[in-house]
């Protein structure tokens, strides 16, 4: 997208909608069944008028006071040792701030579709819809908060540029937003950041610097850079303007699904969850909001129990987009007040959810983006406590193709459709074909065979055979293992 100078007026036309998101007169995506309507992003309600945009800009200008030196002082927030923001007394996020963000973002952010999921509806007994933020600009919800935060910076602060730290989605959101507003951006990313996300961040216009092995180390470098150069640090979740920008997802859900009863939200630092919770609290207080974290990187349950942000004890999950060690102070205030339930999901559930989105919804999502679907698939009815129509947010779709390949295999294995085993057999002619003959009778398809005579546990007349089999589900998988055992084989199942 071409640079948008800070002094230029907002555009007066809605961005052209991609062909695959256009709807017919009935509000349906061409080719979708009656059960999969998508509300039209080109409806009159979704296009803010010029007057409304001017009012939003005026309100935003009123909130930005002339101030000394730093944007931190100007905003009324101070930096903590953990690089979070501490509230200094002003009303953090209210409905007026969210509505102003919606009017500001209207001309530049896509109103992403909601798509019905028959398989999840049948599984949960509730009408389930997917809010496709994986189809948002840059592939996630992040540009909403990033653009709102950067657009609200005073002109003199914009001149110093902005800086961020991220391994992916926030980096791309900041790079896109800054370029759209004609502002220089610098993004610090870990050395191990995936090549597609690194290339995308550069393509959106940011200067990328790779520092350290973790996002925390990159954030330390970004803070030092901001202090040294005067650039404004754009935190991924811990600022009121970020929360207000992410809250526009909630406004869209209410416009697209007026009868919604439950909203399920992938949760990392808490900006998206807090924003949606505040928006729904003001406009639809009866809607139940559920947060979802990866069980292997879940800081929120302990934090809510302690009444303050508490650092997670462990951080080891495939869902790197929600792997945040410490909840933000600003999101925590709102989540603690408005979100009574935080769910956690395991790695197998995440991989199965990613596979379901790919196979059944034809949508590519990253593991973090599939967390809400994973909760609907793996959590029990009492734990979920669903009410009315359900909206599960697909928060992002930025995934390395190599990782996607591995996760598809992991998901197939978790769903009982792949089976990897090791079998020790006698090293005599015909014994391998005998083993494969037993497998063939079960109806399993052999994907790969590895035959090895090397192993300290093997006798001189033994070989180890590793088989990868394609099965038709958990029951068929168990039948294959039982048949091999009945034939006298000792089988070791590989994870």
Instruction: Give the sign of the dihedral formed by CA 168, CA 161, CA 83, CA 246.
Output: negative
pLDDT in tens, 72-92: 333 333 333 344 444 444 447
* pLDDT(373) > 50: yes
77-94 CB burial, b ≥16 within 10 A, e <16: bebeeebbbeeeeeebbe
The pLDDT, as a whole number, for residue 223 is 93
**Nearest to 344, CA basis, from 321, 364, 322, 361:** 322
Residue 260 resides in a domain: no
Comparing 181 with 214, the larger pLDDT belongs to 181
pLDDT tier, 287 (very low <50, low <70, confident <90, very high otherwise) = very high
237 part of a folded domain: no
The two tokens of residue 347 are: 């790695």
Residue 262 forms beta bridges with which residues? Answer: 288, 390
Lowest mean pLDDT among 93-107, 150-164, 368-382, 448-462: 448-462
Q: What is the pLDDT of residues 216-247, one digit of tens each?
A: 788 889 999 999 999 999 999 999 999 999 99
Percent of the chain at pLDDT above 70? 81
Are 6 and 15 spatial neighbours (Cβ–Cβ below 8 Å)?
no
C-alpha 288, offset from chain centre: 20
State the pLDDT confidence band at 299, using cuts at 50, 70 and 90: very high
Is residue 163, in this structure, part of any structural domain at all? no
Is residue 357 situated within a structural domain? no
Catalytic one of 117, 166, 395, 413:
395
Instruction: Select from 105, 116, 118, 114 the least CA-distant residue to 150.
Output: 105
- The parent domain of residue 470 ranges over 416-493
Report d(CA 359, CA 71) in Å as an integer: 46
Please check whether residue 474 lies inside any domain of the structure.
yes
Which of the residues 36, 75, 140, 142 is marked catalytic? 142
Q: What percent of the chain has pLDDT over 90?
A: 58
pLDDT at residue 9 in the model: 42
Average pLDDT for residues 115-143, to the nearest whole number? 97
Q: Is 46 a catalytic residue?
A: no
Mean pLDDT of the chain: 83
Examine residue 271 and state whether it is found in any structural domain, yes or no. Answer: no
3-state secondary structure the chain: CCCCCCCCCCCCCCCCCCHHHCCCCCCECCCCCCCCECCCCCCHHHCCCHHHHHHHHHHHHHHCCCCCCCHHHHHCEEECCCCCEEECCCCCCCHHHHHHHHHHHCCCCCCCCEEECHHHHHHHCCCEEEEEHHHCHHHECHHHHHHHHHHCCCHHHHCCCEEEECCCHHHHHHHHHHHHCCCCEEEEECCCCCHHHHHHHHHCCCEEEECCCCHHHHHHHHHHHHHHHCCEECCCCCCHHHHHHHHHHHHHHHHHCCCCCEEEEECCCCHHHHHHHHHHHHHCCCCEEEEEEEHHHCCHHHHHHHCCCCCCCCCCCCCHHHCCCCCCHHHHHHHHHHCCEEEEECHHHHHHHHHHHHHCCCCCCCCHHHHHHHHHHHCCHHHHCCCCCEEEEECECCCCHHHHHHHHHHHHHHCCCEEEEEEEEECCCCHHHHHHHHHHHHCCEEEEEEEECCCCCCCCCEEEEEEEEECCCHHHHHHHHHHHHHCCCCEEECC
Q: What angle do CA 91, 93, 98 make, to 5 degrees?
A: 135
Is-catalytic flag, 395?
A: yes
**pLDDT at res. 8:** 40
Indicate whether 421 belongs to any domain: yes
Structure tokens at 262: 């439950």
254 in a domain, yes or no?
no
How many domains does the chain contain in total? Answer: 1
As a whole number, mean pLDDT of residues 297-326 equals 92
**Rounded to a whole number, what is the distance in angstroms from the first to the last CA of the chain?**
45
Tell me what the mean pLDDT of segment 41-68 comes to: 43
Q: What is the pLDDT of residues 471-491, one digit of tens each?
A: 988 889 889 999 999 999 989
For the domain that residue 471 is a member of, what is the CATH number? 3.30.70.260
Distance CA 168, CA 146 (A): 13
Strands 85-87 vs 77-79: parallel, antiparallel or unpaired: antiparallel
Q: What is the pTM of this model?
A: 0.75
90-94, 300-304, 400-404: least confidently modelled range: 90-94
Q: Is the CB of residue 151 less than 8 Å from the CB of residue 413?
A: no
Q: What is the pLDDT of residue 234?
A: 97
Task: Take residue 143 and report the two structure tokens written for it.
Answer: 């540009």
Q: What is the pLDDT of residue 59?
A: 52
Q: How many residues are listed for the chain in this entry?
A: 495
């Amino acid at each position: 997208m071409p640079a948008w100078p800070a002094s230029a007026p907002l555009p007066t036309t809605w961005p052209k909608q991609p062909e695959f998101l256009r709807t017919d007169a009935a509000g349906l995506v061409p080719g979708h069944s009656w059960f999969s309507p998508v509300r039209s992003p080109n409806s009159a309600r979704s296009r803010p008028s010029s007057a409304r945009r001017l009012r939003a800009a005026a309100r935003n200008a009123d909130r930005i006071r002339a101030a000394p030196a730093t944007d931190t002082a100007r905003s009324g927030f101070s930096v903590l040792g953990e690089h979070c923001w501490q509230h200094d007394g002003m009303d953090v996020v209210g409905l007026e701030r969210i509505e102003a963000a919606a009017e500001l973002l209207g001309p530049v952010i896509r109103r992403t579709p909601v798509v019905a999921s028959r398989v999840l509806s049948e599984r949960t007994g509730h009408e389930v819809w997917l809010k496709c933020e994986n189809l948002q600009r840059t592939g996630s919800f992040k540009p909403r908060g990033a653009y709102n935060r950067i657009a609200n910076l005073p002109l003199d602060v914009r001149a110093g540029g902005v800086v961020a730290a991220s391994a992916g989605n926030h980096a791309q959101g900041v790079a896109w937003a800054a370029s759209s507003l004609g502002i220089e951006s610098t993004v610090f990313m870990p050395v191990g950041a995936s090549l597609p996300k690194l290339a995308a961040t550069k393509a959106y216009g940011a200067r990328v610097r790779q520092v350290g092995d973790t996002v925390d180390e990159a954030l330390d470098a970004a803070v030092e850079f901001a202090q040294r150069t005067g650039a404004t640090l754009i935190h991924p979740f811990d600022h009121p303007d970020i929360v207000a920008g992410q809250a526009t997802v909630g406004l869209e859900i209410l416009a697209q699904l007026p009868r919604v009863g439950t909203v399920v939200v992938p949760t990392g630092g808490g900006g998206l969850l807090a924003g949606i919770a505040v928006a729904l609290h003001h406009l639809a207080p009866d809607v139940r909001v559920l947060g979802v974290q990866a069980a292997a990187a879940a800081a929120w349950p302990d934090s809510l129990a302690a009444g303050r942000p508490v650092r997670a004890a462990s951080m080891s999950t495939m869902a790197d987009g929600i792997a945040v060690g410490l909840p933000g102070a600003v999101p925590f205030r709102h989540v603690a007040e408005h979100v009574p339930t935080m769910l956690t999901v395991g790695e197998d559930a995440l991989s199965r959810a990613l596979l379901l989105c790919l196979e059944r919804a034809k949508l590519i999502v990253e593991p973090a983006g599939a967390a809400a679907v994973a909760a609907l698939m793996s959590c029990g009815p009492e734990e979920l406590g669903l009410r009315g129509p359900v909206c599960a947010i697909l928060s992002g779709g930025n995934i390395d193709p190599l990782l996607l390949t591995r996760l598809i295999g992991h998901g197939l294995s978790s769903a009982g459709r792949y089976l990897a085993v090791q079998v020790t057999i006698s090293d005599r002619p015909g014994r391998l074909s005998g083993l494969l003959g037993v497998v063939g009778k079960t109806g399993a398809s052999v994907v790969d065979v590895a035959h090895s005579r090397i192993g300290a546990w093997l006798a001189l007349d033994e070989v180890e055979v590793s088989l990868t089999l394609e099965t038709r589900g958990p029951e068929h998988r168990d039948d294959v293992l039982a048949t091999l055992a009945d034939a006298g084989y000792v089988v070791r199942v590989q994870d």
